[in-house]
Amino acid sequence: MTFCANCGKKLPEKAYFCSRCGMQTEEDVPADITPWEDLRHAFTKMGEEIEKALTTAGKEMEKAFETVRERIGETTSKQPDVCSSCGENNPAGSRFCHSCGKDLRGRDG
C-alpha cells in the first residue's frame, strides 16, 4: 500500500504522481511513505518537546512562587508606619498617611 507524501492519498503501486494533489514521487521510486508512521513519529517527538517545556515552566513557576512567598513574608513582618502628624498606623512601606495625607517619608506634603 502506498500513499502520497504530500496529501496522504492512497496511490497505485507504480504511481509517479499523486492523482489528488499532483505531487511527484521520488524518481523511479513509487510513493511508499506511510503517513501514519510519520504522524506517529511527529506526535511522539512533539510530546517529548512539550514535556520538556512543561517541566522547565514548572521549575520556573516554583522559583517565582518561592520569591513571592519571601517577599510577602518580608512585607507582612515589617512594622506599620506611624504618621508623625496624626498618629495613625499605616501599612508598612506606605508613602502617605491614609488618614491625613502627610508624606511619611519625611517631606512636607
List pLDDT tens digits, range 20-31: 998 887 655 545
Residue 88, domain member (yes or no): yes
In-domain check, residue 50: no
38 in a domain, yes or no? no
pLDDT (0 to 100) of residue 97: 93
Band (pLDDT 50/70/90 cuts) for residue 4 is confident
With a cut of 50, say whether residue 109 has pLDDT above it: no
Domain assignment present for residue 72? The answer is no
Q: CB–CB of 3/9 below 8 Å? A: yes
* Total domains present in the chain: 1
**Confidence (pTM):** 0.39
Alpha-carbon dihedral of residues 64, 67, 68, 71, nearest 10 degrees? -160
Answer yes or no: is 4 within a domain: no
In angstroms, the Cα distances linking 65 to 61, 62, 71, 73 are: 6, 5, 10, 12
pLDDT tens-digit profile of 28-42? 554 555 667 778 888
* C-alpha cell read off for 92: 508598612
pLDDT > 70 in the chain, percent: 85
Q: Is residue 69 part of a domain?
A: no
Domain range for 108 is 80-109
Establish if 107 belongs to a structural domain. Answer: yes
Domain-located, residue 58: no
Q: Outline where DSSP puts E strands in the chain.
A: 2-3, 10-11, 81-82, 89-90
